[in-house]
Amino acid sequence: MAQEFDVVVIGAGPAGYIAAIRAAQLGLKTACVEKWTNPNGEAVLGGTCLNVGCIPSKALLASSEEFEKINHHAQTHGISVKGASIDIPKMIGRKDAIVSKMTKGIEFLFKKNKITWLKGHASLTGEQGDRVSLKVQAEKSTEDVSARFLIIATGSKARHLPGIAVDNQLVCDNEGALNFPAVPKKLGVIGAGVIGLELGSVWRRLGAEVTVLEAMPGFLTACDEAVSKEAHKLLTQQGLQIQTGVKIGDVKTSAKGVKVAYTDAAGKSQSLDCDRLIVSVGRVPNTENLNLQAIGLSVDERGFIPVDDHCRTAKPNVFAIGDVVRGPMLAHKGEDEGVLVAEIIAGQKPHIDYNCIPWVIYTSPEIAWVGKTEQQLKSEGRAYKAGQFPFAANGRALGMDAAEGFVKVLADAATDEILGVHIVAASASDLIAEAAVAMEFKAAAEDIARICHPHPSMSEVMREAALATDKRALNM
Ligand code: FAD
Ligand code: NAI
């Protein structure tokens, strides 16, 4: 006899676990299927984000930033520290403890909201009337489950390159790169995207010589050009060696390490010897053995489950959210889709403005943006005005030794509506929230310019950049 639920969610990453919590809050009898086990073999919730993504990477970024501050920035404040050292296993242990605390926190939230956690791999078996049937395969048992509504939130996994075997010892994807037992003397990174820059920064700060090999001729091409230029300047000044326009050839491992053959932008054959290599060339959606065809669904040519603007698949009672569908592969995008879908199932009429989803790259300084870049506005032929203000003219930033970077505001030339905000700054991840709120409320640059911002604070730069769109920044 199948266990019956109003809503079954497959996957307990940020998209799935948030969908399950919201569905349960709305009074729906909810189950969530999750197959992840941690290195100790324990079943855990939280998906990529909590186990091998956002949370562990930010923990390592924070540890390595402390180390870098002590070694390189403390002197600026008149503090001298001699012989600072870092215990890598302890740093990794701290990261693991944070992950464990967070995943246990979701277990608590599931209990609190009376969500049934079905441990194992879910696959679809068919339809019975207006219900979807699935089976959950655990190590020793199989369970039949039936749902009035199904939410697929199976996430993504690292894309690997043909002919480059990832063993997560010498050649690593994100999972291995978060667990190096010691600082590699030389670290190679394939892909100057978000993971390459964040994890490359972690190990560089801890002492590795890091070379990043990027296929595209440009650098961070999704960012506003002013931002990618500034980020390239600052990251290379810090010591990241970034080569763009390369073509990766053979990758060979030996007792000595890894040898990467590649062709550089000038077409010259090169090779990079390193102790470890990170392959961070994007992620692919997870639909392995899900058996979508049992309910007449299939994936698109890139492997994503096709959905409409409300995350509904071709089946009216089946939704898909998070990394397994179109749009940015970001935890907060998945979370918002989880809430959206649960509320639609409960009969509400929610909406997501995908243009207002912020991006953050947690390098130092951080890079964050929301809305359109200047290149996009130009190619759309939209008349706009730009205002930019540097942190070097902000007293708080100088006091904090965080005067690198700027805020750039793009606003419609006629209506003054904010169309995009781009930030390079120590606290860009927090500063960008103001811009996202402003854009959700369709605010004008003048609105931000007229709102009182605390002094001294980094947020004053946002106001000055908004003023600068009208050529009336006050402190420049
Ligand atoms: P996932 O988190 O991938 O979860 C999907 C879950 O579904 C998994 O637990 C999986 O086990 C389960 N599952 C899959 N198939 C089945 C099945 N058939 N049966 C049962 N269970 C199944 N994003 C940010 O916004 N900010 C960041 O700072 C950030 N940092 C990142 C750092 C790294 C190193 C990486 C790799 C990613 C990072 N991301 C970040 C991206 C973020 O982790 C993803 O966008 C997010 O986890 C996607 O959520 P999701 O719920 O769609 O999928
Ligand atoms: P990415 O898409 O950010 O970057 C991949 C990079 O690899 C690109 O610059 C691409 O041009 C390059 N590349 C692709 N094929 C290549 C090849 N054969 N040789 C050399 N370079 C190649 O992907 P990444 O860094 O793997 O991250 C995956 C996703 O995870 C991100 O897109 C993002 O959605 C998410 N993420 C988000 C974070 C955040 O929000 N702070 C942090 C980390 C990951």
- The per-residue pLDDT for range 62-102, each reduced to its tens digit, is 999 999 999 999 999 999 999 999 999 999 999 999 999 99
Q: Which two tokens stand for residue 100?
A: 């464990």
8 Å CB contact between 115 and 32: yes
- 205 has pLDDT over 90: yes
Architecture of domain 171-280: 3-Layer(bba) Sandwich (3.50)
Q: Is 285 in the pocket of ligand 2 (CB under 6 A)?
A: no
- Locate the ligand 1 atom nearest the alpha carbon of residue 46 and give its number: 9
Residue nearest to atom 24 of ligand 2 (CA): 282
pLDDT confidence tier of residue 159, bands split at 50, 70 and 90: very high
Q: Is 283 in the pocket of ligand 2 (CB under 6 A)?
A: yes
- Which H/E stretch holds residue 184? none
Q: Is 196 in the pocket of ligand 2 (CB under 6 A)?
A: yes
Which residues does 313 contact at the CB level (< 8 Å), separation at least 6? 152, 297, 305, 306, 307, 319, 320
What's the start-to-end Cα distance of the chain, in Å?
72
Beta-strand relationship, 276-279 and 116-119 = unpaired
| Residue of 54, 99, 168, 339 best suited for mutating to test ligand 1, as the one with most atoms within 8 Å of CB | 54
Distance of CA 150 to the CA centre of its chain: 25
| Residue of 48, 103, 291, 361 best suited for mutating to test ligand 1, as the one with most atoms within 8 Å of CB | 48
Q: Which two tokens stand for residue 309?
A: 């603007």
Q: Is 192 in the pocket of ligand 2 (CB under 6 A)?
A: yes
The arithmetic mean of pLDDT across residues 330-350, rounded, is 98
The reply to whether 3-158+284-352 and 171-280 are identical in fold is yes
- Locate the ligand 1 atom nearest the alpha carbon of residue 15 and give its number: 51
pLDDT in tens, 207-233: 999 999 999 999 999 999 999 999 999
Compute the distance between CA of residue 336 and CA of residue 170 in angstroms, rounded to an integer: 36
Compute the distance between CA of residue 375 and CA of residue 147 in angstroms, rounded to an integer: 46
Closest by alpha carbon to 356, among 340, 332, 338, 339?
332
Q: Mark residue 27 as left, alpha or beta (left: phi above 0; alpha: psi -120 to 50; beta: remaining).
A: left
> What Rg value do the Cα atoms of the chain yield, rounded?
24
Burial 273-299 (b: 16+ CB within 10 A, else e): ebbbbbbbbebbbbbeebbbebbebee
- Locate the ligand 1 atom nearest the alpha carbon of residue 289 and give its number: 18
Q: Is 338 in the pocket of ligand 1 (CB under 6 A)?
A: no
8 Å CB contact between 34 and 348: no
**Predicted pLDDT at 351:** 96
Structure letter (DSSP) for residue 356: G
**Predicted pLDDT at 367:** 98
Structure letter (DSSP) for residue 306: P
pLDDT in tens, 415-460: 999 999 999 999 999 999 999 999 999 999 999 999 999 999 999 9
Domain ranges of the chain: 3-158+284-352, 171-280, 356-468
Compute the distance between CA of residue 7 and CA of residue 49 in angstroms, rounded to an integer: 23
| Residue of 9, 36, 42, 49 best suited for mutating to test ligand 1, as the one with most atoms within 8 Å of CB | 49
The arithmetic mean of pLDDT across residues 156-174, rounded, is 97
Q: Which ligand has its closest atom nearest to the C-alpha of 333?
A: 1
Which residues does 440 contact at the CB level (< 8 Å), separation at least 6? 353, 356
Residue nearest to atom 19 of ligand 2 (CA): 215
Q: Is 59 in the pocket of ligand 2 (CB under 6 A)?
A: no
Q: Is 191 in the pocket of ligand 2 (CB under 6 A)?
A: yes
CA of 292 to the centre of ligand 1 (A): 19
What are phi and psi for residue 60, nearest 5 degrees?
A: -70, -35
Please list the active-site residues. Answer: 455
The arithmetic mean of pLDDT across residues 391-411, rounded, is 98
pLDDT in tens, 251-296: 999 999 999 999 999 999 999 999 999 999 999 999 999 999 999 9
Closest by alpha carbon to 438, among 460, 412, 420, 465?
420
- 128 has pLDDT over 90: yes
The arithmetic mean of pLDDT across residues 332-361, rounded, is 98
Q: Which ligand has its closest atom nearest to the C-alpha of 362?
A: 2
The arithmetic mean of pLDDT across residues 36-46, rounded, is 96
Question: DSSP E strands: which ranges in 35-137?
Answer: 116-119, 121-128, 131-137
Q: Is 199 in the pocket of ligand 2 (CB under 6 A)?
A: no
Burial of 7 (0-12, 13-18, 19+ CB in 10 A): buried
CATH number for 3-158+284-352 (one of 3.50.50.60, 3.40.30.10, 3.40.50.410, 2.40.110.10): it is 3.50.50.60
Mean pLDDT of the chain: 97
CATH number for 356-468 (one of 3.30.9.10, 3.30.390.30, 2.100.10.30, 3.40.630.10): it is 3.30.390.30
Give the rounded percent of residues in the chain with a pLDDT score beyond 90: 99
- Locate the ligand 1 atom nearest the alpha carbon of residue 33 and give its number: 20
**Predicted pLDDT at 1:** 82
What are phi and psi for residue 29, nearest 5 degrees?
A: -75, 115
Q: Which two tokens stand for residue 203?
A: 């190990």
Q: Is 161 in the pocket of ligand 2 (CB under 6 A)?
A: yes
Amino acid at 77: H
Task: Kindly report the pTM of this predicted structure.
Answer: 0.98
**Predicted pLDDT at 414:** 98
